[in-house]
Chains A and B, each alone.
Chain A
Amino acid sequence: MKDTYQVKSVVMDDAEIERSLTRIAHQILEANHGAENIALVGIVTRGDLLAKRLAEKIEQIEGTKVPLGSLDISFYRDDFLTNFAPEIHATHIPFDIDGKDIVLVDDVLYTGRTIRAALDAVMDLGRPSVIQLAVLVDRGHRELPIRADFVGKNVPSSHDENVRLFLEEVDGVSAVEILEMKPGERAGSAPLGGE
């Protein structure tokens, strides 16, 4: 189904994604002085997969398994009536987040609204010590005072473009692509399966 989109350019390929994640993993460890108090929380439906990859990399580097969770922010969206998607992937955070250094992981940082919702969602689950944000791509156009602590790549883009991450685990191939948006279409994560 990916083919039906008008692909303008490929901004990251598989290898580049891998390199970026490795770098981010190092940065996270550096900023937090090790893996001891870190927990990764990925925002579905791509951030959770990136979080999983990051956890694996941290384990390779430090030899420590960091707690890993996934967060569905549907219930916290400020635009759920306009961007309504009935498919909900339950939030799964199998650890106590109180006092943790939480690293939120998402694929593309754009307006910041998803992160705003994610912050609310995390706060409803407990009281972390700090919350940091790691994203693979920052495409600009922020609408809220939100910035990422760890960025894989800054990708300048225009509003009528859609920057999407495809991952091998669900899409068969990994890449970050800039897609031309059709009128009425909204920017956002690609559905699972990359359609």
Chain B
Amino acid sequence: MKTTYREAMRAAIREALLRDERAFLMGEDVGAYGGCFAVSLGLFEEFGPGRIRDTPLSESAFVGAGIGAALGGMRPIVEIMTVNFSLLAMDQIVNNAATLLHMSGGQFNVPIVIRMTTGAGRQLGAQHSHSLEGWFAHVPGLRILAPATLEDARGMLWTALQDPDPVLIFEHGSLYNMPGELDDDAGAVGIDTAAVRRAGNDVSLITYGGTLPLVLEAADRLAADGIGAEVLDLRTLRPLDDAAIQATVAKTHRAVVVDEGWRSGSLSAEISTRITEAAFYDLDTPVGRVCSAEVPIPYARELELAALPSADRVVAAAREAMGTRG
């Protein structure tokens, strides 16, 4: 069937609420408004205000309440409008959700799913456009997912809800309108492994989330030049699928990491380091990186585009790795 990333996500939430009576959705404007990005449109009418709960603008309280409800036996899906707003709930996510199991010596697990929009590209300026999933991927106790395809938008949520521990799902805002075909019986997918989205022998392009489409576009352009790029979609940012990263590097001997986060202290730095640690002797060339410029994401279209990874920059980085600059 024809669908979009947004509709696939909505179908996943709807399935969760139909299959598990403990599941409910909670967040700002998820109900009567239909969701800031219209992901939950129609669910309020179908499930009512008890299970599609509009919250006050209180990120710390409603994320914390989600953690408490999870401790109390529910399976909350908490939506935060954007990753920038999640900073207001950082205390609850980092100090509580991620620590309670360990601090309690294994007594209290927190089966919560927290969804939020991430990323730039829509001229929303510096307080609605950042890619901070790498910060959360830093924290032991959390599992971090970044669905980049319709199948993952449709299938990751149910699997995340079965996880006994906190799972954060980062949905890149530029993906919501992405159209495509999805099997009528599409459902839960695994969340333990990365996926090769395009096979190639010459250079590995390692990415996740909102940059997957432009990396696939870059791979097409490289193919036209006779360069076979392998595209690895990480899918899960914590824990990283080290085996998949090492396997693709062992195959191509060249790697470029594409990450919309900033370069300094980033997920791309982590991946690059792991390649150096585990696959140094497989490499024919230093690991390349394409990241966002080190600026708060600006509003103006030209400036925003200049700040972000692009297919052009990925192509250039891949060619540099191949030693065929220009």
The answer to whether A and B interact is no
